[in-house]
Structures are given as structure tokens and as C-alpha cells.
Structure 1
Amino acid sequence: MSDHQIASGTKAGTVGGTLLSVAINLDSSDILRTIILATVGAVVSFSISVLLKWMVKAFKRNRDPS
């Protein structure tokens, strides 16, 4: 049985090289755009969640005969 283990130094080198190659190819405008889109997505997601929760409460309140 052969044991295929990768040394931790090789893993760190691979991850570090990958991250550096990605970082070199990113523009600051891409990072800013990503931050803005993530913020807008989070705000919309939260708003929709609050709206749906409010709608469910209102629907249950209207259907309750007591």
C-alpha cells in the first residue's frame, strides 16, 4: 500500500503561490466592486427576510379567529 501524503511545506507553498498569483491579477476596482456588491446583497437579503417575517406574522394574525 502506498501512502501519498503531501508535506505541509508543499501545501503551504501551493496555497501561498495560488494566493499571490490571484492577488497580482486583481485590480483595486474589482475589490471595490466586490465589496459594494456584497454589501448590497447583504442589505437586500436582510430586508427581504424582515419583510417576509412581517408578512407571515400579519397573515397569521388575520387568520386567527380569536
Structure 2
Amino acid sequence: MGNNHSIVYGTVGGTFLSVLSNISSADLAKTALMAAIGAVVSFTISTVLKWFLKKHKK
């Protein structure tokens, strides 16, 4: 590709800005909420399974 990185930077920047302009704040809030719920559920299940396996190993 050589020294011509401006085409790559322009393409990536344009793509990012076009995606950013099409995302509403409601979508961002929903995504953040779903990510938080997923993290809590994942942590809870991991902790319960760890406790369960430790208890039944004895």
C-alpha cells in the first residue's frame, strides 16, 4: 500500500461517521443496558457453577 494512508484513514473515518449518524441515543441506551444485563448474568452463572462444582468435588 505504501505511504498513501490517507485513503485508508478517509475511508475508515467516513464509514465511522456515517454509522454514528444513523445510531440514535435510544439504541445506545438499549445496547448499554443489554450489555450490563449480560455481564451480570454471566458473572452470576459463573459464580454459581464454580460454587456448585467445588461443593460436589468434596
- TM-score tier, shorter chain, comes to over 0.9
* 12, 15, 39: which one aligns with 2:9: 12
Describe how 1:27-66 pairs up with structure 2 within 5 A: 27-61=24-58
What is the number of equivalent residue pairs in this alignment? 57
Q: Percent identity?
A: 47
TM-score, normalised relative to structure 1: 0.82
Distance 1:33 1:41 in 2: 12
TM-score, normalised relative to structure 2: 0.93
Q: Which letter maps to 1:55?
A: F
Please tell me whether Structure 1 or Structure 2 has the larger radius of gyration of its CA atoms. Answer: 1
Moved segments of 4+, more than 2 Å: none
| CA-atom RMSD in angstroms | 1.0
